[in-house]
Structure 1
Amino acid sequence: MASELTFWQVATTTPFNHELAKQYTTTLLWPVFWISMAYIVVIFSIKAYMKNVKPFDLTGPLNAWNAALAIFSTLGSLITGYGLLYEITTRGLVSSYTRVGDYYSGMSGLWTWLFVLSKVGEFGDTLFIVLRKKPLMFLHWYHHVLTMNYAFITFTDNVAYNSWITWMNFSVHSVMYGYYMLRSFGIHVPAWIAKNITTLQILQFVITHFILFHVGYLASTGVPVDTTPFYFWFCLLMEISYVILFGNFYYQSYVKGGGKKFNAEKKVVKAE
């Protein structure tokens, strides 16, 4: 029975069994949804509590957290990238995002599943923000909640273009968490690097838009595509909202009035 499956059974099945993983993940859909709702309540409760409390240092745990996610994301990028490249070279570029193929088998399938599960763990990012009394943006928690639920829901079915989404997200996160790791270790990283990371984040959403537009066109002409209308529109609307929110963040941080991050960097240089 699917309800009797455990994480270790799925993770250690060789070769990786996509159908088994889907069965197990299906049992988690409602629990992780309620976890995401509890996450919102918890982070805002902690934020309210921290108003009259000194921020926690958490330097050691933050260093370990960022280093672990940087390593995990880098490995994920390499492994899923290889799986995606195999699909492109053996079946063609278009088929790599319209048909599931062999991507969800073997190591690329395993790491895509781990990617899905990791979206719950990434809620820990927000705990570090509120406990250290750093600004908590709508973009941050909205992005975490929506991405996590999308990842779990769509993994339980065959959604071909998720291979691209997974690889791109792993790749961007490998750079992003590497940046966070350097900063948490007290190493100064120029603001232009942060700007380029945000550019990469927006670029992945733009690429996903082009993929979805093509998928939608092909489906409308009767070409078989591994997805459903619900998943397609869920993904498209989610990606549109991300482009708007990340685009606004980019404008506020790096363009408007010279860019908040660039201005803050100049102040630090002058103080030195």
Structure 2
Amino acid sequence: MLSWQPGRTPFSTFTGVAFTMAMYLTVVLGGRELMRKYRIAPMELRKPFVLHNVALSLGSALLLACMLEEILPIWYHHGFFAAICAESSWTPRMETLYIFNYMFKFWELADTGFLVLKKKPLAFLHVYHHSATALLCFSQLIGRTSVSWVVICLNLFVHVVMYAYYALSSLKIRCPWKRAVTTLQILQFILDLAVVYFASYCHTVAAYSLPLPVMGSCAAGKEHAVASGCTILSSYLVLFVIFYRKTYNRKPSRAKVTVSPASGSPAARSPVREKDQSEVLTSSYKRVTRAGGLSAPSDAEKRPNTPQLEEAGKR
């Protein structure tokens, strides 16, 4: 756990990570179907869920503080470019903290377990994000990309806020900042991509001696670490923006469509109630009577013979 040793550190081989992710998908998807098939009632699990979220929020805050304690002096003394690109920025202590953060990703898989046991919907974004993040952390540990701390620190900060929100919500404490959490996640990925694409550009130009302007080389022990980092983070941004638009930008329908009993065809419901329509028709009869000297309509005449108004009268 203190240093990355493939084959000895937990989940340090691709086979082990792939098998774990396959088991994760099997358990959560299979568990959901079993609960549905056998009609198992949703479980409350309030206390374990609160404890889980509080622990993750506090753990993320502690790990974030440890990482900033290590990286901020490097940034201060050598500059931001050196902090994200120099090989010396991958210190032994930072590697240990990266491993701890990687272990957190397997702990966070329990989020989906709670959703299954509580019979909550399993969104594709949720399942994909949890499984892909573990693979992302694994690839960056193998690739020894010095820029990793930017992505991890932003993610830890978001998790401090997000898991605190989940804990408060489960305690029935009103939290009006659900939308702010999603906005914060999207902002996180925008910043991630800005820094990661810049570091990837510097690495590619320096590694392949391309005739392009560059500040210097960026450390990356494996090429797949560069590609996987850019690809997974880009997919996160796209999926979270789609989720935000579907969740928070829904436009209310202007008119409800109903089916006319007489014709069977859909018709837009008027904002005027049926009772008000009968009152309008009655008043129009009275105006015609006063203007043309016609006799006042009877009660039967006041109510037009339409199925809609007859049904309204019954109600």
Q: Quick check: 1:125 aligned with 2:111?
A: yes
Change beyond 3 A, Cα 1:231–1:27: closer
> Which residue, 158, 168, 190 being the options, matches 2:154?
168
State the distance in 1 between where 2:110 and 2:229 align: 24
Partner of 2:18: 33
Answer whether contact 1:80 1:166 (CA < 8 A) is retained.
no
Which residue of 244, 248, 263 corresponds with 1:254?
248
Task: Say whether residues 1:81 and 2:68 are aligned partners.
Answer: yes
Q: 1:177 — aligned with what? A: 163
Which whole-Å CA distance do the structure 2 matches of 1:80 and 1:21 have between them?
23
* Residue 231 of structure 1: aligned partner: 225
In the aligned structure 2, how far is the partner of 1:47 from the partner of 1:41? Answer: 10
Whether the 8 Å CA contact 2:142–2:225 is kept in 1: the answer is no
In structure 2, C-alpha distance between the alignment counterparts of 1:91 and 1:204, rounded to whole Å: 24
1:212 is aligned to: 196
2:184 aligns with 200
Structure 1 residues 211-243: Cα deviation after superposition (integer angstroms, max 9, x where no partner): 122123322432321113311111111111101
Q: Secondary structure at the match of 2:88?
A: coil
Cα distance per residue 1:130-168 (max 9 Å; x no partner): 110111100001011111012123213311111111111
> How many angstroms does 1:26 deviate by?
6.8
The aligned counterpart of 1:141 is 127
- Structure 2 CA distance for aligned equivalents of residues 127 and 19 of structure 1: 28
Counting matched residue pairs gives: 240
Matched, 1:46 2:31: yes
Kept after mapping to 2: 8 A contact 1:83/1:103: no
In the aligned structure 2, how far is the partner of 1:86 from the partner of 1:194?
A: 34
Q: Which runs of 5+ in 1 are unaligned?
A: 1-6, 11-17, 259-272
Equivalent-residue separation in structure 2 for 1:178 and 1:94 (angstroms): 33
> Pairwise CA RMSD of aligned residues?
2.0
In structure 1, what is the Cα distance between the partners aligned to 2:172 and 2:149? 35
- Structure 1 residue identity aligned to 2:43: F
- In the aligned structure 1, how far is the partner of 2:67 from the partner of 2:7? 18
Q: TM-score, normalised by structure 1?
A: 0.82
Cα deviation, 1:223-270, whole Å, max 9, x if unaligned, reads 321113311111111111101110011111222227xxxxxxxxxxxx
Return the letter of the residue paired with 1:199. Answer: T
Establish whether residue 242 from structure 1 lines up as the match of residue 236 from structure 2: yes
CA shift at 1:110, angstroms?
2.8
Partners of 1:115 and 1:257 in 2: CA distance: 39
Evaluate the alpha carbon distance shift between residue 40 and residue 251 of structure 1 in structure 2; reply closer, same or farther with a 3 A threshold. Answer: same
2:71 pairs with 1:71:
no
How far is the alpha carbon of 1:83 from its aligned partner?
Answer: 2.1
Going from structure 1 to structure 2, the CA distance change for 1:68 and 1:21 (only over 3 Å counts) comes to farther
**If you compute each CA radius of gyration, which structure gives the higher value, 1 or 2?**
2
In structure 2, give the amino acid aligned to 1:249. Answer: F
TM-score by length of 2: 0.71
Seen in structure 2, the aligned counterparts of structure 1 residues 153 and 20 have a Cα distance that, compared at 3 Å, is: same
Amino acid at match of 1:219: H
Residues 1:158 and 2:144 aligned together: yes
Unmatched 5+ residue regions in structure 2? 207-215, 253-315
- Asked if the contact 1:103/1:163 (under 8 Å) is kept, the reply is no
The sequence identity of aligned pairs, in percent, is 25
Change (3 A) 1:102 1:83: same
CA contact (8 A) 2:6 2:12 kept: no
Task: Work out the CA distance in 2 between the residues paired with 1:45 and 1:23.
Answer: 31
